[in-house]
């Protein structure tokens, strides 16, 4: 005799995961509600803005619910979801770069800088500046500085060489310094 799993908003991750494995839409909703905000933060580090981040988030959760049966219980469910979301974002950036190349578009990623002075640069303000970096540079910078990956790991994830990863990190730091200087001069 099998017992039905009853999912509630305060159910444990294990109960929600089991519900998701069985295709329970309510369990999926509760997982999304519980972790969506945090995962949106993960997506924002890769996206050009909130709309693109939301697209990445939705694509990521679609993959989470497709692959939830593959979660083996090593580590936390939240960390596993974050990893799936992060790889979804990386795949998204790869597809975008491939599309731009096929269409022969420029991939400079130039976005105007806000005219506010940033004398006391808070983390939120730094993340806003990071979002203005070109996609590949932003991905490498985020993976290295925010997520703690090394250049070999980043190279494997993004399908680039370690040297290219190092170049993107250096270029990202240089561009961020320029943006901060520009902001300080505009605010003076």
The tally of CA atoms less than 13 A away on the side-chain side of residue 42 is 24
Question: What's the pTM?
Answer: 0.62
* Same structural domain, 31 and 120: no
DSSP 3-state assignment of 91?
A: helix
* Same structural domain, 103 and 134: no
Are the C-beta atoms of 163 and 95 separated by less than 8 Å?
no
Largest CA distance in the chain: 73
Q: What is the pLDDT along the chain (188 residues), one digit of tens a residue?
A: 455 667 888 889 999 999 999 999 999 999 999 999 999 999 988 888 899 999 999 999 999 999 999 998 888 999 999 999 999 998 888 777 654 544 433 333 333 333 343 334 566 677 788 888 888 888 888 888 877 889 988 888 888 889 989 999 999 889 888 888 887 777 65
What's the confidence (pLDDT) of residue 17? 94
* Same structural domain, 126 and 155: yes
* Same structural domain, 129 and 74: no
Of the candidates 85, 107, 129, which is a domain's last residue?
A: 107
Cα distance between residue 101 and residue 83, in whole Å: 27
* Same structural domain, 64 and 127: no
Residues sharing a CB contact under 8 Å with residue 120, sequence separation 6 or more, in sequence order: none
**Structural domains of the chain, count:** 2
41 to 46, 59, 86: CA distances (angstroms)? 9, 15, 10
Token readout for 166 is: 């190092």
Cα distance between residue 125 and residue 6, in whole Å: 42
């Amino acid at each position: 005799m099998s017992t039905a799993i009853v999912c509630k908003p305060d159910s444990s991750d294990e109960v929600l995961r089991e519900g998701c494995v069985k295709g329970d839409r309510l369990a999926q909703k509760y997982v999304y509600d519980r972790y969506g905000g945090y995962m949106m933060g993960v997506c924002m580090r890769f996206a050009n803005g909130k709309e693109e981040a939301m697209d990445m988030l939705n694509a990521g959760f679609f993959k989470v619910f497709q692959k939830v049966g593959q979660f083996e219980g090593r580590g936390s469910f939240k960390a596993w979801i974050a990893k799936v979301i992060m790889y979804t974002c990386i795949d998204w950036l790869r597809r975008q770069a491939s599309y731009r190349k096929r269409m022969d578009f420029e991939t400079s990623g130039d976005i105007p800088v806000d005219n506010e002075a940033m004398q006391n640069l808070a983390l939120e303000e730094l993340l806003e500046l990071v979002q203005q970096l070109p996609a590949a540079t932003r991905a490498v910078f985020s993976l290295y500085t925010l997520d703690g990956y090394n250049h070999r790991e980043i190279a494997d994830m993004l399908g680039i060489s370690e040297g290219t990863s190092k170049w993107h990190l250096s270029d990202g730091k240089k561009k961020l310094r320029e943006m901060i200087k520009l902001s300080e001069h505009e605010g003076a």
